[in-house]
């Protein structure tokens, strides 16, 4: 075999390997997207939020729709209220709306009402539904019909006032202490978790990061716990500057 043929074979093998690497990389990214989930506080839409520039776009409070910053438009998500395990399916109608990063989504008053969310502590779990799900095909067909029904309902018919009072009456015995932590990330090795702690202390003013051992191969880095929502939000805003991929707020972590 002469040198030119040998060189040609090497180049073919090289570019084939590069293509496989790129393809694998795309698959991994898409897989991560399909597994997206987050627990944290949601923002319940109100006209006053738009007027005070705390949100950049209006949303129809009669519909089962949400705003989200990371999930692509027209995706479907399952939203659960961990307090009572009520859940609902909603559609992401925009991912370019401006609102505080402290909130994992913006939901309508209808969703808040359906889930009996406590407006003083609007904590939810949000999970992306896979595009391959048979449910998505059915939901996509009926969504326009649901939208037409919602548009006929008066906005005034969906109020937020009863959420706090009714929920408090039903769950007075279950009243709990406000206690939340910010989940930074999970690590396979303890050394990696300790390095993350050092980075947080070096690059921020936060002095309360800690490591929680979940198993022999899982170490979780947390901030907190916090017993006040304002302190929680302040720490969240500071830690987000380090640009972690998916910060979560965990209850009683």
Q: What is the pLDDT of residues 138-161, one digit of tens each?
A: 555 555 555 555 555 555 555 555
Range of the structural domain that residue 186 is part of: 180-251
Do 49 and 138 belong together in one domain?
yes
Task: Using the predicted structure, report yes or no on whether residue 177 has a pLDDT greater than 70.
Answer: yes
What pairing do the DSSP bridges indicate for beta strands 37-44 and 123-128? antiparallel
Q: In the listed set 121, 138, 170, which residue is the last one of a domain according to the structure?
A: 170
| Alpha-carbon torsion, ordered 35, 40, 44, 49, to 10 deg | -110
- Note whether residue 10 is domain-resident: no
Select the more confidently predicted residue: 1 or 222.
Answer: 222
- CB environment 78-106: b (16+ within 10 A), e (fewer): ebbbebeeeebebbbbbeebebeebbbbb
Do 77 and 147 belong together in one domain?
yes
Task: Using the predicted structure, report yes or no on whether residue 4 has a pLDDT greater than 90.
Answer: no
Do 107 and 189 belong together in one domain?
no
163 C-beta neighbours (distance < 10 Å), count: 20
Task: Using the predicted structure, report yes or no on whether residue 194 has a pLDDT greater than 50.
Answer: yes
Task: Using the predicted structure, report yes or no on whether residue 243 has a pLDDT greater than 60.
Answer: yes
Q: What is the pLDDT of residues 71-98, one digit of tens each?
A: 999 999 999 999 999 999 999 999 899 9
Q: How many domains does the chain have?
A: 2
Do 231 and 158 belong together in one domain?
no
- Note whether residue 16 is domain-resident: no
**Stretch 60-64: mean pLDDT, rounded?**
94
Instruction: Report residue 226: phi and psi, to 5°.
Output: -115, 140
- Note whether residue 59 is domain-resident: yes
Q: In the listed set 107, 135, 170, which residue is the last one of a domain according to the structure?
A: 170
- Note whether residue 71 is domain-resident: yes
Q: Any bridge partners for residue 38, and if so which? A: 126
- Note whether residue 125 is domain-resident: yes
**Stretch 162-180: mean pLDDT, rounded?**
56
Do 103 and 166 belong together in one domain?
yes
First to last CA, the chain: 65
Select the more confidently predicted residue: 178 or 42.
Answer: 42
Q: What is the pLDDT of residues 7-37, one digit of tens each?
A: 555 555 444 444 433 333 333 333 344 578 9
- Note whether residue 116 is domain-resident: yes
Q: In the listed set 120, 148, 170, which residue is the last one of a domain according to the structure?
A: 170
Do 48 and 159 belong together in one domain?
yes
Task: Using the predicted structure, report yes or no on whether residue 180 has a pLDDT greater than 80.
Answer: yes
Residue 209 · residue 201 · CB < 8 Å: yes
Supply the pLDDT for residue 36.
Answer: 84
- Note whether residue 1 is domain-resident: no
């Amino acid at each position: 075999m002469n040198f030119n043929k040998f060189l040609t074979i090497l180049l073919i093998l090289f570019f084939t390997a590069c293509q496989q690497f790129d393809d694998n990389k795309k698959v991994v990214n898409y897989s991560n997207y399909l597994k997206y989930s987050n627990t944290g506080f949601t923002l319940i839409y109100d006209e006053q939020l738009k007027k005070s520039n705390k949100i950049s776009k209006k949303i129809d409070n009669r519909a089962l729709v949400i705003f989200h910053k990371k999930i692509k438009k027209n995706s479907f998500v399952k939203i659960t209220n961990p307090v009572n395990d009520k859940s609902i399916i909603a559609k992401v109608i925009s991912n370019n709306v401006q609102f505080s990063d402290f909130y994992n989504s913006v939901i309508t008053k209808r969703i808040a009402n359906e889930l009996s969310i406590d407006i003083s502590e609007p904590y939810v779990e949000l999970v992306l539904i896979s595009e391959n799900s048979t449910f998505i095909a059915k939901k996509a067909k009926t969504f326009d019909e649901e939208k037409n029904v919602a548009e006929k309902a008066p906005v005034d018919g969906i109020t937020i006032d009863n959420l706090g009072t009714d929920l408090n009456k039903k769950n007075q015995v279950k009243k709990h202490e406000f206690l939340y932590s910010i989940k930074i990330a999970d690590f396979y090795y303890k050394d990696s978790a300790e390095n993350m702690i050092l980075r947080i202390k070096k690059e921020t003013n936060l002095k309360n990061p800690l490591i929680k051992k979940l198993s022999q191969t899982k170490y979780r880095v947390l901030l907190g716990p916090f017993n006040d929502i304002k302190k929680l939000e302040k720490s969240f805003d500071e830690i987000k500057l380090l640009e972690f991929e998916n910060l979560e707020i965990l209850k009683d972590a």
